[in-house]
Amino acid sequence: MDGAFAKNLLGFIQAIDAREGEWQYHQILKTPAEDFVLTCFECWKNQISVEVSLDAAWEDPEWTVQLRFTVEKERWHDFAIRFGQFATRDDHTQA
């Protein structure tokens, strides 16, 4: 995983984790080429709505894959902690 992207992804995950209560707000993280897009739409009834898109370029993508799912707020918090441990390790990047 690219170190700069890991840092941005960690910040995104932590920002979602820090939001309290119910909310409706589109928070989006994407690579410069938009070949990976992560969107959180809302937290309602303790469920965070998430969409992951691969090859999501707006202009004439050859293919696109999207997955929508929900994550319990408590599980997101656990994930944020674990990903933080992973993203800050020195041995997680590939040459």
Q: Half-sphere exposure (CA, 13 Å, Cβ side) for 93?
A: 10
- pTM confidence score: 0.82
The CATH classification number of 3-87 equals 3.30.160
Instruction: Take residue 64 and report the two structure tokens written for it.
Output: 């696109």
Burial class (CB in 10 A: 0-12, 13-18, 19+), 21: exposed
| 1-60 pLDDT tens trace | 577 888 899 999 999 999 999 999 899 999 888 888 999 999 999 999 999 998 866 666
